[in-house]
Amino acid sequence: MKGQTLHGHLDALLLAVLEDGALHGYAIIEALRVRSGGSLDLPTGTTYPALRRLERAGYVASSWHTVNGRERRTYQLTDAGRRALAGERAGWREFSSTVGRFLNPDAPPATA
């Protein structure tokens, strides 16, 4: 998948991955890869800055934990992050419905 395709949607994808519980950075990257059937194979240089941005916005919180003798930062969704995710989902439904009217020849026309 082209990186440009994700432009504007990465934050929503990260929030959605964290919806089911806290994960450390590599597990987030792996969850994106698995849930996308391998289409999303994001480098750490893309993922970690986005997680830091979400943390500064108050949508995720992080803490350090020792896992198998290694220090790992674990991220979890905050209440504000859950609200942001709900907004992202509503926006996505509207966006995909609108664009689908142009790109999907079988889509029903909009009703006024």
Q: 83-102: per-residue pLDDT in tens?
A: 999 999 999 999 999 999 89
CATH topology of domain 2-91: Arc Repressor Mutant, subunit A (1.10.10)
Q: Chain centroid to CA 27: how far? A: 13
**Stretch 24-37: mean pLDDT:** 95
Instruction: Give this prediction's pTM.
Output: 0.86
Q: Which helix (H) or strand (E) holds 34?
A: helix 25-35
How does residue 1 score in pLDDT terms, banded at 50, 70 and 90? low
Q: Where are the strands (E) in the chain, listed by range?
A: 23-24, 60-67, 70-77
On whether the CB atoms of residues 29 and 47 are closer than 8 A, the answer is yes
Nearest-angstrom CA–CA distance, 79 and 73:
19
What pLDDT was estimated at residue 112?
Answer: 59
**Stretch 49-57: mean pLDDT:** 97
